[in-house]
Amino acid sequence: MTNLKAILGPTNTGKTHYAIERMLGHGTGMIGLPLRLLAREVYDRVVAARGYPHAALITGEERIVPPTARYFICTVESMPADLRPDFLAIDEIQLAEDEDRGHIFTDRILNMRGNHETLLLGADTMRDILKSLKLGAETQPRERFSELRYSGHTKITKLPKRTAVVGFSAEEVYAIAELLRRKKGGAAVVMGALSPRTRNAQVAMYQSGEVDYIVATDAIGMGLNLDVERVVFASRSKFDGRRHRPLTLAECGQIAGRAGRFRTDGEFGETGNCPPFQEEEWKAIEQHRFDSVDALQWRSSDLDFTSLRTLIRSLEKPSGNPVLIHNPHALDEWILRRMSEDGGIGPNVSGERKVRRLWDLARLPDFRKLGPEGHGRLVLGLADTLADPDARLSDAGLERRMDDLASTQGDIAKLQQRLAAIRTWTYAAHRPDWLENPGYWQQKTREIEDSLSDALHEALTARFVDRRTTALLASLKKEDALVTELTPEGDVTVEGHLVGRLKGLTFEPVLDNRTLEGKAVRGAAMAAIRPLLSQRLTEISGAASDAFKLTEAAEIEFKDAPVARLLKGASWIAPRLELVGALEMDAGERAPALTRMEEWLKGEIARVLPVHAKLASGDASEKLEGMARGLAFRILESGAAVDLRTDDPPLRVTAEQREALKAAGIRAGRVAVHVPDAQKPAAQRVIAILKAAASGQDYPLAPEGAGSFALDGTWPEEALAANGYLRFGRRAVRADLAERLGWEIAKRRKDAGKNAFAIAIDLASMVSCPADDWPGVLKGFGLAPAEKDKDTGAVTLWRYGARSRPEEGQQSARPPRGERPQGNRPNRQSPDRPQGKGPRGDGRRPEGRGDRGPQRGGGRPGQHSGPPPRKAIDPNSPFAALASLLPPPKPPKPPRPNKPKQPREPKSEAAPATDGAFVYKPFQ
């Protein structure tokens, strides 16, 4: 008769160790364990004690069964029911109350026995229910080897070494591990979803002392043997697959009990936002007093495989015992019912082989944690192929799936997803009746799982363990000089560990300077890279011109990294420079590099902007006199163009002055003075960079090579002038093209021989202007509609408009509405607005003003003491004869309510002066 014993007690009582020793004392034995991780650990111990040929490992995803195996280490679900060894043990039997797995544990407790000895291992909460089941088990209580004490709340940054922090989701575990990496140098990570290979590698780091902290889920509470002195809870609730619920006190005790090993006392407490344990709670955990288990999950093991219907009915059969309850929501039963409802499978399946095949498929574990719906889709998809007991998954189909899963690239989440997926196919590979070539796929899936496990371990270590900190700090204690290396990519290593990157003259550490370790490592790294910085400064001071590059960020790059930035100087074309980085070096070591870059920048400006460079140095401006010199100064100030239409009175540029400006690289014309070289894309870019550095604001760039472009609110007059463009209505027109277009318009007027003349739309192509914007461009040349088509309203003839020339003390422009003083009319600008600008202060006229025609010389009654004096007519002008058509000036009249309108004055046109100058009179 078998000897049945229940070894009950809290954690750290040596129950599992006792069971292994008892098993090895028998000729054959089997032990069922709650986790694959724990099964692998026990298997390794048995192999070490009895040798590989005598130990077998059987789990859902692993099956190592030598022909001579005598000791079988299994997960509870995988315990072979057809074996009857001399010794049998079932660990963590309190899991029989778990809603998902409990019925498996209950079945093993009730039905599996060893020939000579059977041990049931678990918590003392199972004592009463084992008695009520009348199994005839002898109960042996065991006392904890060490004491467990409550330590209260502790900040994560204050946790002592050899502490395990427990969270209940991957996100929480990762967040805690990341914080410990920054504050404490690193932590190992243990979760139930990890493969045994990854888990063992992580635990090995902790056990060896490479890291002093471990962050884990509640998987740590199931028999994992670690040298942990304190367990702290980061939270006390978890999602169990159906709902988010608080942990029971017994579950908290199971986890807290991992603190302390053998005779070493342990502590437990909370950290982070975890609510504190109440006094009655922590005292119960200290004394291991928990509510007894009052019911176990159960499912009939007497199943009827005659048909799918009879199988479902047999699964639903009650136990007849009030303490053995059936959970109708078990995942495998739910999927089986879905199969019966599926049209492709149907409820009428019969025959033991077919029904057993569907039941085996329904029991495929949800390794990917997709939930019932997601996992159900996977199983039903497999059932489409494997419903026939003679069907097999093809090698070709599995090969395609394995190719997708074999990659070790990606982050932690992707690697974990692939590991979970490969576990499904590892499980399938150990079902020889599912595959064409199961032996091959068992080896293949194992290789993929191992490679993914190693990659995941490396990814976890790289993210949550800062090996540089420990290794580098240890090396600082040495008296020898640190070995520093700089890769061509700029990576800086000290004693073989990456500490940062040298970009230009700036060292970017990989550690957070706010942590103690980060500060220490940065100090050591900076001491180590000082020779590298000195070498880099020497390279810059002797570098060739093609080694530097001016960037849009107003910086100078050397080896694709910024080493200097432009600052405001004496003028926009003469900026100052300051080094970017190398702050740790002495001023004497920095000066040669800065001088070399100042020389390069000056030469670069002279190369791209030769006219400006000569004007700034005085080489060109000294040869100019009077108005020509003033225009050169304005060009140097604006960038690329000066709009002459804003000058009041209009400038008279003589032929001699125009030639002098041309010799200096400047063109003066009807509407603008401009520098052709400055309107090239490279020059526009440099001007924009220099202007931005001088003003501290971004300067927009005109579209490359555009004859004109549409304007929006981001284009102030200064930016247009810097790019070499003038505003014409809703478009900006390049200054040189505007000049050409102006001469073409004048030619059309001359050919017409009269004031009203036609302008063909073909001219719009000269400045790349669309038809809709063409009238606005013409009005910018002082033109106004002279005749329109009666049917379409399109302008058929244009004419030049006249502008009244202001005399001394009197202006012709109208102040903004609401600001018109009595008496003599002031200038169009307000007192705080600079001369030469429109009422908006940006050189533009108010919207719609260009369509009103010329302004009358007089204003409203009572606002002037008299009409403005008429400008004398040049007797040498070919149009002097038109003066006889002007009416004689009338004396001022007193104001009256309904004053009749004055007749319009005849409109004059722009005419060449006798001295060869061209006076441009824009239309207002």
User: By C-alpha distance, which of 187, 194, 167, 168 is closest to 35?
Assistant: 194
N- to C-terminal Cα distance for the chain? Answer: 119
SS (H, E, C) 735-774: HHHHHHHHHHHHHHHHHHCCCCECCCHHHHHHHCCCHHHH
Give pLDDT, residue 171: 86
User: By C-alpha distance, which of 320, 339, 317 is closest to 328?
Assistant: 317
For residues 241 and 244, give the distance between their C-alpha atoms in angstroms, rounded to a whole number: 8
Q: Which two tokens stand for residue 251?
A: 């579950």
User: By C-alpha distance, which of 229, 110, 220, 223 is closest to 163?
Assistant: 229
296-297 and 324-325 beta bridge pairing: parallel
Residue keyed to tokens 């579209």 = 703
User: By C-alpha distance, which of 612, 548, 554, 559 is closest to 578?
Assistant: 554
The alpha carbon dihedral of 88, 94, 99, 100 has a sign of negative
Q: What are phi and psi of 31, to 5 degrees?
A: -135, 135
Give pLDDT, residue 468: 61
User: By C-alpha distance, which of 413, 421, 422 is closest to 374?
Assistant: 421
Q: Which two tokens stand for residue 630?
A: 């003033």
- CB neighbour list of residue 671: distance below 8 Å, 6 or more residues apart: 643, 644, 645, 726, 735, 738, 739, 742, 781, 920
Strands annotated E in 247-289: 266-270
Instruction: Using alpha carbons only, give the angle 396, 397, 403 rounded to the nearest 5 degrees.
Output: 90
Q: Which two tokens stand for residue 39?
A: 């099964």
Largest CA distance in the chain: 143
Q: Which residues of the chain have pLDDT under 50?
A: 474, 477, 479, 516, 803-867, 877-885, 899-924
Instruction: Using alpha carbons only, give the angle 28, 33, 35 rounded to the nearest 5 degrees.
Output: 140
**Full strand arrangement of the beta sheet holding 497-503:** 484-486, 491-494, 497-503, 506-509
**What does the DSSP 8-state code read for residue 20?**
H
User: By C-alpha distance, which of 439, 453, 299 is closest to 362?
Assistant: 299
Give pLDDT, residue 218: 80
Give pLDDT, residue 859: 41
Cross-strand pairs, 72: 30, 56
SS (H, E, C) 597-634: HHHHHHHHHHHHCHHHHHHHHCCCHHHCCHHHHHHHHH
Contact 604, 550 (CB under 8 A): yes
Q: How far is CA 893 from the centre of its chain?
A: 75
User: By C-alpha distance, which of 672, 734, 676, 725 is closest to 707?
Assistant: 734
Q: For helices 249-256 and 279-287, what crossing angle results, to 10°?
A: 60
> Environment class of residue 645 by beta-carbon count within 10 Å: exposed (0-12), middle (13-18) or buried (19+)?
buried
Using CA atoms, how far residue 173 sits from 120, 167, 198, 525, 578, in Å, is 33, 6, 16, 31, 46
Q: What are phi and psi of 297, to 5 degrees?
A: -75, 140
**What does the DSSP 8-state code read for residue 163?**
E
Q: Residue 267: helix, strand or coil by DSSP?
A: strand
862: left (phi over 0), alpha (psi -120 to 50) or beta: left
Is 0.85 surpassed by the pTM of this model? no
User: By C-alpha distance, which of 108, 103, 54 is closest to 81?
Assistant: 108
For residues 673 and 687, give the distance between their C-alpha atoms in angstroms, rounded to a whole number: 17
User: By C-alpha distance, which of 672, 678, 683 is closest to 717?
Assistant: 672
SS (H, E, C) 501-561: EEECCEEEECCCCCCHHHHHHHHHHHHHHHHHHHHHHHHHHCCCHHHEEECCCCEEEECCE
29-33 and 87-90 beta bridge pairing: parallel
Residue keyed to tokens 């982050």 = 411
For residues 220 and 202, give the distance between their C-alpha atoms in angstroms, rounded to a whole number: 13
For residues 498 and 174, give the distance between their C-alpha atoms in angstroms, rounded to a whole number: 23
User: By C-alpha distance, which of 905, 899, 864, 913 is closest to 886?
Assistant: 905
Q: Which two tokens stand for residue 350?
A: 């019969």
User: By C-alpha distance, which of 98, 36, 126 is closest to 245?
Assistant: 98
For residues 197 and 454, give the distance between their C-alpha atoms in angstroms, rounded to a whole number: 7
User: By C-alpha distance, which of 67, 123, 73, 72 is closest to 98?
Assistant: 123
Identity of residue 654 = T
Give pLDDT, residue 475: 55
Q: Which two tokens stand for residue 71?
A: 């000791």
575: left (phi over 0), alpha (psi -120 to 50) or beta: beta
Give pLDDT, residue 523: 61
Contact 259, 164 (CB under 8 A): yes
- CB neighbour list of residue 516: distance below 8 Å, 6 or more residues apart: none
Q: Which two tokens stand for residue 450?
A: 């191992």
**Full strand arrangement of the beta sheet holding 561-571:** 548-550, 555-558, 561-571, 574-579
Helix (H) or strand (E) holding 718: helix 717-723
For residues 811 and 829, give the distance between their C-alpha atoms in angstroms, rounded to a whole number: 10
Give pLDDT, residue 619: 75
Contact 349, 358 (CB under 8 A): yes
Cross-strand pairs, 71: 29, 55
Cβ-count burial 570-596 (b if 16+ within 10 Å, e if not): eebbbbebebbbbeebeeebbeebbeb
Q: What are phi and psi of 556, to 5 degrees?
A: -105, 125
Q: Which two tokens stand for residue 612?
A: 């400006």
Omega of the bond leading into 141 within 30 degrees of 0 (cis): no
Give pLDDT, residue 518: 58
Contact 859, 814 (CB under 8 A): yes
